């Protein structure tokens, strides 16, 4: 109910995850929006859903996964203005 209230009362909601969006908080938010016919704009920011054959630290993941701070700021600006 809390997430539904947040989505209903917000004009724009952006979720950011350090994993793929499948099964994460972004997916949950999308289900709530669709199931309740909420008109809030919703944007999910997460790692791509692809198999990686590399590994590294959390910092490496953020840098190479496209979810570093600068990328997130650009995504938010483009989504809000677009």
* pLDDT, position 4: 95
Mean pLDDT over 77-81 rounds to 85
CATH number of the domain that residue 46 is part of:
3.40.50.920
Mean pLDDT of the chain: 90
* pLDDT, position 76: 87
Range of the domain at 34: 2-81
Tally of domains within the chain: 1
With CA atoms as reference, report the closest residue to 45 among 11, 80, 10: 80
Q: Give yes or no for a contact between 7 and 42, defined as CB atoms under 8 angstroms apart.
A: yes
- What residues are paired with 12 via a beta bridge? 41
Q: Look at residue 68 and tell me whether its pLDDT is greater than 80.
A: yes
H runs (alpha helix) in the chain: 2-9, 25-35, 58-64, 69-81
pLDDT (tens digit, 9 = 90+) per residue, 26-65?
999 999 999 999 999 999 999 888 777 778 899 988 888 8
* pLDDT, position 3: 92
């Amino acid at each position: 109910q809390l997430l539904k209230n947040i989505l209903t009362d917000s004009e724009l909601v952006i979720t950011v995850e350090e994993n793929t969006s499948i099964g994460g908080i972004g997916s949950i938010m999308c289900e709530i929006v669709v199931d309740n016919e909420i008109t809030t704009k919703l944007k999910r920011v997460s790692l791509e859903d692809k198999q990686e054959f590399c590994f590294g630290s959390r910092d490496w993941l953020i840098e190479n996964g496209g979810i570093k701070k600068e990328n997130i700021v650009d995504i938010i600006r483009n989504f809000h203005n677009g």
